[in-house]
Amino acid sequence: MPVTGPTGTAPLLQMALRVEHDIFVVRQRGREVAAAVGLEHQDQVRIATALSEVARDLLRAVGGADVTFALADDAVHGRRHLRVDLAPVRPLPDDRYEPQSGAVARLVDKLGVVTGEGDTVVRMSRRVPVTAAALTPERLAELRSELGRNAPGSALDELAAQNAQLIAALDEVRSQRDELAVLNEELAETNRGVMALYNQLTEELEETNRGVVALYAELDEKSAQLRAASESKSRFLANVSHELRAPVTAIIGLGRLLDDSASDPLTTEQARQVGLIRSSASDLLTLVNELLDLAKAESGRIEPDWAEIDLRPVFGQLRGTLRALATRPGVELVVEEPPAPATLRTDEVLLAQVLRNLLHNGIKFTEHGEVRLRAERRDDQWSLTVSDTGAGIPPELHGRIFEEFYQVPGATRIGGTGLGLPYARRLVTLLGGSLLVSSEPGRGSTFTVTLPVGGA
């Protein structure tokens, strides 16, 4: 008698396994029952194969078994299983009898010997997929009678079915192999693409590198040319201005002699003309001197004389000397007292020259208001600002006023050479600082000299 299962077990079919031919029948019926309860094709073949293996084993070992197919509900997970019990006709050789190899056991979910109430069965089961149609009691009854009606086919039929399954399995293996080959080919293709891209990128990188190297070489050459041009310009300016200084000084001296009261008296007209000669010559001398200064600064021939200085006496001196220039009645020159300790490491003469230049410009270009010099210390820097309430400079010309000979249009009538600011900036750079301007037309200008407290 077969072992009765847990609640929910519904036997579907029973049959006897006694002779070799029954193995085929068990296999065939196994597949039919599996299909009927909704197992997928692969699972039908699996359970049928496991069944025929176990059946063959039991036939040899104990001479046969009673086979029961049933549907069982898993009490824990509530899942439905197709269960096949094979009750041996004689006791199994010993308790440790294991009718299955590992490979066979893997074909089903469970396979093992089960003992209960004196009966021992070999039991295998396979889960019915959740997608399978629900089996109502009516449908189960129908299945039972269908399965009972179906006459088992011959061994040959089952062999043919088994062959067909083998061919299908082989086909599947072949198509998987073909897919693998296609994938491999695609991978090789991708690899070739990646390599080509990599090569192309490497080439482009090398090309770019060559371009950059060439550009740098050109840049080096250009800056060498520029340096050479600038040096020869400075040399030319220095030579020319030096050569010009002597004759211009002579003209000024001769003019003074002619004008001297000890010399023969000049007619009014002659005196006026000599006066013109003298003032032109002295303008010329200013220009020549400025040119010479600039050329010297540019060619690096000015060596700052570094010393720890006090800004207060420097400011005091500027206040004294420039007051004489600030002759316009509506313009006040204010030189603020620098905050103590007003010390700084720099070249006093060069710094005074820069500040004088900026103050002089302020006085020149301011008609009303004031020109102010003030010093402010921030951390390790001094800010010396010269601000005025004069004409101001349009923002787009802030860079140009530091170019040699550049004068803002309209400023020329005020006089000057256009060399003061480039020279001042040169000197400040030599002193390790910077010279910047901020200005708006009609609102005045502020020139800021920033210098490191400890020198360059």
Of residues 408 and 453, the one with the C-beta less far from ligand ADP: 408
Rounded Cα–Cα distance for residues 416 and 404 (Å): 12
Nearest distance from C-beta of residue 228 to ligand ADP, angstroms: 26
Query: Should residue 401 be labelled a site residue for ligand ADP when binding is judged by CB under 6 A?
Result: yes
Query: Should residue 350 be labelled a site residue for ligand ADP when binding is judged by CB under 6 A?
Result: no
Tokens found for residue 141? 């009854």
Residues 260-289 that bind ligand ADP (CB under 6 A): none
Query: Should residue 325 be labelled a site residue for ligand ADP when binding is judged by CB under 6 A?
Result: no
Query: Should residue 420 be labelled a site residue for ligand ADP when binding is judged by CB under 6 A?
Result: yes
Residue with tokens 């439905």: 80
Query: Should residue 362 be labelled a site residue for ligand ADP when binding is judged by CB under 6 A?
Result: yes
CA-nearest of 146, 151, 126, 147 to 42 is: 126
Nearest distance from C-beta of residue 403 to ligand ADP, angstroms: 8
Query: Should residue 39 be labelled a site residue for ligand ADP when binding is judged by CB under 6 A?
Result: no
Q: Which of 416, 426, 431, 451 binds ligand ADP (CB under 6 A)?
A: 416
Query: Should residue 408 be labelled a site residue for ligand ADP when binding is judged by CB under 6 A?
Result: yes
Query: Should residue 294 be labelled a site residue for ligand ADP when binding is judged by CB under 6 A?
Result: no
Residue 45 contacts residue 31 (beta carbons within 8 Å): yes
ω before 338 within 30° of 0 (cis)? no
Rounded Cα–Cα distance for residues 22 and 29 (Å): 10
Task: Output DSSP code: residue 395.
Answer: G
Tokens found for residue 3? 């072992």
Query: Should residue 361 be labelled a site residue for ligand ADP when binding is judged by CB under 6 A?
Result: yes
Number of residues in contact with ligand ADP under rule CB under 6 A: 19
Considering only the stretches 38-46, 138-146, 296-304, 358-366, report the one whose residues sit in contact with ligand ADP under the rule CB under 6 A: 358-366
Query: Should residue 435 be labelled a site residue for ligand ADP when binding is judged by CB under 6 A?
Result: no
Tokens found for residue 397? 């010309």
Query: Should residue 338 be labelled a site residue for ligand ADP when binding is judged by CB under 6 A?
Result: no
Considering only the stretches 82-90, 215-223, 304-312, 401-409, report the one whose residues sit in contact with ligand ADP under the rule CB under 6 A: 401-409
Q: Which of 388, 428, 431, 451 binds ligand ADP (CB under 6 A)?
A: 388
Of residues 105 and 424, the one with the C-beta less far from ligand ADP: 424
Of residues 28 and 407, the one with the C-beta less far from ligand ADP: 407
Sign of CA dihedral 245, 248, 252, 257: positive
Residue with tokens 């050109």: 218
Query: Should residue 299 be labelled a site residue for ligand ADP when binding is judged by CB under 6 A?
Result: no
β-sheet with 10-17: strand ranges across: 10-17, 65-73, 80-88, 119-127, 110-116
Sign of CA dihedral 341, 344, 350, 354: negative
Query: Should residue 393 be labelled a site residue for ligand ADP when binding is judged by CB under 6 A?
Result: yes
Considering only the stretches 81-89, 240-248, 260-268, 359-367, report the one whose residues sit in contact with ligand ADP under the rule CB under 6 A: 359-367
Per-residue b or e along 283-314, where b marks 16 or more CB atoms closer than 10 Å to that residue's CB: ebbebbbbbbbbbbbbeeeeebeeeebebbeb
The size of the chain, in residues, is 456
Query: Should residue 390 be labelled a site residue for ligand ADP when binding is judged by CB under 6 A?
Result: yes
Of residues 97 and 406, the one with the C-beta less far from ligand ADP: 406
Q: Which of 421, 427, 430, 449 binds ligand ADP (CB under 6 A)?
A: 421
Residue 86 contacts residue 27 (beta carbons within 8 Å): no
Residue 61 contacts residue 92 (beta carbons within 8 Å): yes
- Residues forming the site for ligand ADP (CB under 6 A): 361-362, 365, 388, 390-391, 393, 401, 406-408, 411, 416-421, 445
